[in-house]
Amino acid sequence: MTTDSNKNSPNQDEIDLYKLFLKMGEFMKKAILKLINVIGSVLIFLLRKWYYLVVAALLTVISALILNNISDSYYCSDLILRSNATRNQPIMFSLDKLGDYANTRNYATLSNELNLSLEDASAIKGLETFWYYDIGGDGIFDGIDTEGKFLSDTSIVKIDSVFVVRAAVYDPNILMKMEGGLLHYLEANPFFKALNKQRLSDLEAQLNQTQYEIEKLDSLQKREYYTNTDDIRQKEGQIVFTSEKIVRIYHHDMFKLLELKQECERDLNIYNDVVTILEGFTVPVEPGNGTIRYAKRLIWYYLGLALLLAVIVTYRKKIWIP
């Protein structure tokens, strides 16, 4: 009897698994049907209350037109800078102070710092700096952290040599003047100026040392090539080889030194300022606060309000019955 029960247990397990799969399938079927019913009910409700949605759309358009007429148009543009003298953070912090001057409308200080006229400085609405971020550490820029959500994320790599300066201005024609003013502001900073001077001095010394190492390695290679021949001597009328020629490869070391030399020359000739402009301001075509932009922001508020009002009106008796 025990043997028979052991033989039947696999079949019983198969039956139990079959029932389990049937129950899971039935549960998924009911869940999908219920979801379809809910979506259908919501769509039917929206179709019946279509006039609420139309009113929300009309209010969005009217509000966007009013806001566009009562507010001054401003334009946004990005400047991409490379930090040479130091890391990004000190330079970005210094530029953010200019943004504080613009936000508080301290145009006199802003005019003095950027070497602009008071009229041009008063046309600056705001100034912000943003980090580039790299997901995965593959060296490829994956985007601009405009919301600051990656600053505390250790899995995301912040690019510490290139950053973005975003300017908002009422007159796009001052962007070129503003670009020159930002360079003047950073170059006039005594701390950044001293750091950059020290950096250039170190690069000069490194370049000279690298050139010396290249010449020494080249001389060593030539000397070994011409002097390290096989030592041949004659013994009792026979030619005897006492050593073999030692062959050394210097290409790898030479290429590394040449690459280091090129990097030093590039930094001295191209990246010799506190910062370098990689991409300047471009004159924007559309304002940053046009009617369409206002409408995109307002539509969700009005739609949410319209749906809430429709639900309250439709189910008001159930809601207010004690």
pLDDT tens for each residue of 67-117: 877 877 888 999 999 999 998 899 999 999 999 999 999 999 999 999 999
pLDDT of residue 274: 94
Share of the chain above pLDDT 70, in %: 80
Whether the per-residue pLDDT at 231 is higher than 50: the answer is: no
pLDDT of residue 66: 85
Cα of first residue to Cα of last residue in the chain, in angstroms, is 67
Which residues neighbour 45 within 8 Å (Cβ) at sequence distance 6 or greater? 310, 314
Which residues neighbour 286 within 8 Å (Cβ) at sequence distance 6 or greater? 75
Cα radius of gyration (the chain): 36
DSSP E strands, the chain: 75-83, 124-135, 143-145, 156-169, 232-235, 238-241, 275-279
Q: 289, 76 in Cβ contact below 8 A? A: no
Q: How confident is the model at residue 234 (pLDDT cuts 50, 70, 90)?
A: very low
Average pLDDT over residues 133-148: 76
Listed residue (262, 273, 269, 272) closest to 207, CA to CA: 262
Our CA dihedral for 92, 93, 97, 98, rounded to 10 degrees, sits at -10
Inter-CA distances, 61 with 54, 137, 310, Å = 11, 44, 20
Average pLDDT over residues 7-14: 54
State which H helix or E strand residue 102 sits in: helix 88-103
* Pairwise CA distance, residues 113 & 72, whole Å: 25
* Pairwise CA distance, residues 172 & 287, whole Å: 9
pLDDT of residue 235: 47
Whether the per-residue pLDDT at 171 is higher than 80: the answer is: yes
Which residues neighbour 192 within 8 Å (Cβ) at sequence distance 6 or greater? 85, 86, 90, 91, 94, 186, 274
Positive or negative, the CA dihedral 230, 235, 238, 240 is negative
pTM (2 d.p.): 0.67
What are 210's two structure tokens? 């690298």
Q: How confident is the model at residue 214 (pLDDT cuts 50, 70, 90)?
A: confident
Average pLDDT over residues 157-169: 88
Q: 61, 303 in Cβ contact below 8 A? A: no
The winner for highest mean pLDDT among 3-7, 91-95, 288-292, 299-303 is 91-95
Average pLDDT over residues 158-179: 90
pLDDT in tens, 35-71: 888 888 878 877 888 888 888 889 888 888 888 778 7
* Pairwise CA distance, residues 238 & 227, whole Å: 23
pLDDT of residue 73: 82
Listed residue (253, 159, 167, 269) closest to 213, CA to CA: 253
Beta bridge partner(s), residue 77: 167
Whether the per-residue pLDDT at 301 is higher than 50: the answer is: yes
Whether the per-residue pLDDT at 297 is higher than 70: the answer is: yes
pLDDT of residue 295: 84
Share of the chain above pLDDT 90, in %: 35
Q: How far is CA 127 from the centre of its chain?
A: 17
